[in-house]
Structure 1
Amino acid sequence: MIIEERENQIVLKEVDDFNPVHIFDCGQCFRWTKENDGSYTGVVKGKILNVSKNGQEIVLDNTNLKDFEDIWYEYFDLARDYSSIKKELAAHDKNLSDAVDFGWGIRILQQDGWEMLISFIISSNNRIPMIQRAINNISERYGQEIGEYKGKTYYSFPTPEQLSKASIEDLRECKTGFRDKYIFNTTKDILENELDIQDFLDMDSATCHKELMKFQGVGAKVSDCIALFGMRKYDSFPVDVWVKRVMQEFYDAEDMSLPKMRKYGMDLFGEKAGFAQQYLFYYVREMEIGK
């Protein structure tokens, strides 16, 4: 990978396994918005970034080399060899090989655990546009204004302290639906019990999964999503309606309960179950397999 700094931009050349469409549309994040020109704009750690693919180049706009080294290199998981991961997964079976080829540019983002906790509580039985709207509403009301990019104002995701200012009624006004009380009580639990989300990063996967499920509104699937996308537990295997179809369609799991299907996926793909899940999820959803 070649890193080139231009005016207010970082350009990545000769970088394989990076496609903004695959990364931002594979269900792992909710604060990246697709622009009319096909680029994506999002907020991470108080920074506004626009990402686009220009031929073989990945263009990171509204940034500099220092922020790339301090934030974006880790956030986009650029130290990881995705080519090797894809090669290993593709050798597992034909269906997974097809999924890897289809979603070749997926990378699992290194997202903030607290933001993932609240975001995936909001995601429960919810559609992506509604999830995004609720998260944006919460950020605008309780986060901090960061600045403007191309005429639009952006806000940081609120800290637990900032979000604690919201009542259940306030959260309902943010269009969170029945999840308002879960967000309220989870925020309260974090602060009253002086929990440090960073501690979850140091837990083994089983402990992390179990501890996350102690928060209201966090079931097995939501816990796995938080663990995978916010806590670096790459052997997690979230099972939603699409992954259920994958397992039934491709892996003879028609008669399995969701907990058994989850364990089966983890056993099947091992320490790379989370990567396999992302390729399979994106493939089956985009191709509408099993509908």
Structure 2
Amino acid sequence: MNTPIHLDSTLFSGQTFAWVKQNGVYEAVVDKNLVSFSEESFDSMLEKHAALRHYFDMGWEYGKAEAYLASLDVHLARAIKTCKGLHILNQDPWEVLMAFLLSQNNNIKRIRSMYERLSKELGSHVEGSWYAFPRPQELLGISERDLRSLGMGFRAPYLLDAIQNHEVLSGIPGLNDDEALRALQTIRGVGAKVASCVLAFAYHRQQAFPLDTWMLKVMKKHYPGRDASYFAPYAALAQQYLFHYERTQGGLP
């Protein structure tokens, strides 16, 4: 493979819950189309589909960003060396919002299961066993009771409010980062962490810096007294490298 992207680090680092990998084949529904490829076929697939080049963020300055971040400190340099080639995907804002509402007090395996259940029960069929994640227009008649019956639990009212107020997302590109964070948090259940995930993983806002339990531990141990500004102008990429490195390498006791 002649691309700088590392597929496993990119697709299984907690920024998306749509992908599966079986027998060396990566698969997910993207924009209501089943996308299926191996490492060997990845480059040729991108040549045929410009939209997927954008989705995988193939045109951004990763080499420059990684070199700058690695120069900041030894811990970040180690994370980048270990997980090099991690890209931040350009995902659909609606799917990111719903996925990270599901992520609250949850683990990745269960988030994937809930995401898949919503797709199969409420989304449109694509092919085989694959379904697209439902669009907000497909969910306008859904009730909190319906969502609870699908196992969404305490997240059901949050999902319902997102469905009813999804138009907030269309205004985000015209707002600065602080305004966008505030706008997203008008949706019930969206706090600073979920809002930052949406900004980073759907709008490529590089100063978004999601802080969950893992990242709070990382910051306390390795960056006491520092915040996202330390990693500027590549805070979102730094966060994703640190988060993935922590989860896969177990750097904390």
TM-score normalised to the size of structure 1?
0.82
* Equivalent residue, structure 2, for 1:15: 3
> Structure 1, unaligned stretches of length 5 or more?
1-12, 254-263
For residues 201 and 110 of structure 2, the distance between their equivalents in structure 1, rounded to whole angstroms, comes to 20
Amino acid at match of 1:15: T
Q: Does 1:94 align with 2:74?
A: yes
> Structure 2, unaligned stretches of length 5 or more?
none
For residues 241 and 102 of structure 1, the distance between their equivalents in structure 2, rounded to whole angstroms, comes to 22
* Equivalent residue, structure 1, for 2:236: 274
Deviation string, structure 1 residues 213-258 (Cα, Å, up to 9, x no partner):
11001011111111111122111111111111211221124xxxxx
* Equivalent residue, structure 2, for 1:251: 223
For residues 92 and 285 of structure 1, the distance between their equivalents in structure 2, rounded to whole angstroms, comes to 21
Q: State which of 144, 156, 159 in structure 1 corresponds to 2:132.
A: 156
* Equivalent residue, structure 2, for 1:82: 62
1:31/1:132 contact within 8 Å kept: yes
Amino acid at match of 1:246: V
Amino acid at match of 1:29: T
For residues 80 and 101 of structure 1, the distance between their equivalents in structure 2, rounded to whole angstroms, comes to 19
The equivalences for 1:7-156 within 5 A come to 13-16=1-4, 18-35=5-22, 37-54=23-40, 58=42, 65-66=47-48, 68-69=49-50, 71-148=51-128, 153-156=129-132
Deviation string, structure 1 residues 241-279 (Cα, Å, up to 9, x no partner):
1111211221124xxxxxxxxxx4221111210000011
Deviation string, structure 1 residues 151-173 (Cα, Å, up to 9, x no partner):
xx211111111122321121112
For residues 32 and 102 of structure 1, the distance between their equivalents in structure 2, rounded to whole angstroms, comes to 22
Change (3 A) 1:225 1:240: same
For residues 146 and 169 of structure 2, the distance between their equivalents in structure 1, rounded to whole angstroms, comes to 24
For residues 233 and 78 of structure 2, the distance between their equivalents in structure 1, rounded to whole angstroms, comes to 20
Deviation string, structure 1 residues 186-234 (Cα, Å, up to 9, x no partner):
21123xxxx2523212321111111111100101111111111112211
For residues 199 and 46 of structure 2, the distance between their equivalents in structure 1, rounded to whole angstroms, comes to 30
Q: State which of 119, 124, 144 in structure 2 corresponds to 1:168.
A: 144
For residues 170 and 65 of structure 2, the distance between their equivalents in structure 1, rounded to whole angstroms, comes to 26
- CA RMSD in angstroms comes to 1.7
- Which stretches of structure 1, 4 residues or more, deviate above 6 A after TM superposition? none
Q: From the CA coordinates, give the structure whose radius of gyration is larger.
A: 1
For residues 251 and 118 of structure 1, the distance between their equivalents in structure 2, rounded to whole angstroms, comes to 30
Amino acid at match of 1:136: E
1:20/1:51 contact within 8 Å kept: no
User: Greater relative contact order (Cα 8 A, min sep 6): structure 1 or 2?
Assistant: 2
* Equivalent residue, structure 2, for 1:261: none
Amino acid at match of 1:42: A
For residues 141 and 165 of structure 1, the distance between their equivalents in structure 2, rounded to whole angstroms, comes to 14
Give 1 or 2: higher strand fraction.
1
SS in 1 for 2:233: helix
Q: State which of 229, 240, 247 in structure 2 corresponds to 1:285.
A: 247
1:20/1:52 contact within 8 Å kept: no
Alignment size in residue pairs: 253
1:52/1:59 contact within 8 Å kept: no
State, as a whole percentage, how many aligned pairs show the same letter. Answer: 30
Amino acid at match of 1:132: R
1:237/1:273 contact within 8 Å kept: yes
2:168/2:184 contact within 8 Å kept: no
Q: Does 1:197 align with 2:185?
A: no
C-alpha deviation, 1:94, in angstroms: 0.7
Amino acid at match of 1:22: S
TM-score normalised to the size of structure 2?
0.94
